[in-house]
């Protein structure tokens, strides 16, 4: 059976599809979180150098990875929206931004908490943490620009351009900060030994998967509200059960 992908690029059909998918993503996220936390706290052994504190990484690392990838995906949707003029692409980009920003925030917070027992300081101008902070600024800039423009079309397109410029800048920022960091201090967050214990790896991957599933669920939920808002004048919205009541 050939799936007509373009059918789902219309807000009308995507709304329904997203609605059906959300519960699946949400439940699997919850289950994987539970499993990941169990392995992370009860199965994985105490680290030789970092004691119990290393367990923060099971949330810190997935949050960092997600914040970075979500930015790229957001920029990707933004680019699609600019090039093909598809409404849904722009809506997806807008839906992703808050989730990405919150993951960046979690990454920064947990990074700081990890830094305290490790290096005795709440903040560390480590290349990755600093790049993460700048990434948060880029997210906030995207959200602020979008919110400042009244005309939805101009808002989408301007924010899209910003996202694309930002994504080009992210590697430049990362390398310049890395450079700067090696000049000044060279303190990085490292692990004892060369390989991670198998349970640690398992916990890490489970938590990473859990975060991804959570992110997808939340983004889909948010985009549904955006679709409702943007398409409020159409008849298909008027015919929806939740609107008819």
Secondary structure of 86-97 as H, E, C letters: CHHHHHHHHHHH
- Binding of residue 90 to other proteins (CB under 8 A): no
Q: How far apart are CA 165 and CA 194, in angstroms?
A: 37
- Binding of residue 201 to other proteins (CB under 8 A): no
- Binding of residue 179 to other proteins (CB under 8 A): yes
Six token digits for residue 121: 């300081």
| Own/partner long-range contacts of 112-115 (Cβ < 8 Å, ≥24 apart) | 113/56, 114/53, 114/56, 114/57, 114/60, 114/189, 115/189
Scanning 2-10, 65-73, 186-194, 225-233 for contacts with other proteins by CB under 8 A, the matching segment is 225-233
Task: Provide the Cα torsion 236, 237, 241, 245; round to 10°.
Answer: -130
Residue of 16, 27, 85, 229 that binds other proteins (CB under 8 A): 229
Closer CB to other proteins, 1 or 116, in the complex: 116
Scanning 2-10, 67-75, 195-203, 220-228 for contacts with other proteins by CB under 8 A, the matching segment is 220-228
- Which residues, at least 6 apart from 144, have a Cβ–Cβ distance to it below 8 Å? none
Q: What are phi and psi of 47, to 5 degrees?
A: -75, 145
Q: Which residues bind other proteins (CB under 8 A)?
A: 37, 41, 51-53, 55-56, 59-60, 63, 98-99, 102, 105-106, 109-110, 113-114, 116-117, 134, 137-138, 140-141, 144-145, 148-149, 153-154, 157-158, 161-162, 165-166, 169, 172-173, 176-177, 179-180, 183, 214, 218, 221-222, 224-225, 228-229, 232-233, 237-238, 242-243, 245
């Amino acid at each position: 059976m050939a799936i007509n992908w373009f059918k789902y690029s219309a807000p009308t059909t995507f709304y329904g599809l997203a609605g059906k998918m959300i519960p699946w993503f949400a439940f699997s996220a919850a289950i994987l979180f539970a499993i990941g936390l169990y392995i992370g706290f009860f199965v994985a052994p105490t680290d030789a150098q970092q004691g119990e504190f290393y367990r923060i990484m099971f949330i810190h690392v997935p949050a960092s990875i997600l914040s970075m990838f979500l930015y790229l995906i957001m920029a990707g949707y933004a680019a699609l929206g600019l090039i093909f003029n598809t409404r849904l692409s722009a809506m997806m980009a807008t839906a992703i931004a808050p989730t990405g920003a919150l993951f960046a925030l979690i990454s920064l917070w947990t990074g700081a908490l990890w830094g305290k027992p490790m290096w005795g300081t709440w903040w560390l101008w480590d290349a990755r943490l600093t790049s993460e902070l700048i990434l948060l600024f880029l997210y906030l800039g995207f959200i602020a620009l979008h919110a400042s423009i009244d005309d939805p079309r101009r808002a989408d397109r301007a924010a899209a351009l910003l996202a694309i410029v930002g994504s080009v800048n992210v590697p430049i920022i990362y390398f310049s900060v890395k450079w700067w960091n090696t000049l000044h201090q060279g303190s990085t967050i490292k692990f004892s030994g060369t390989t991670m214990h198998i349970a640690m790896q398992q916990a890490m991957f489970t938590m990473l998967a859990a975060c991804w599933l959570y992110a997808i669920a939340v983004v889909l939920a948010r985009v549904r509200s955006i679709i409702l808002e943007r398409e409020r004048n159409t008849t298909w919205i008027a015919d929806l059960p939740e609107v008819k009541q």
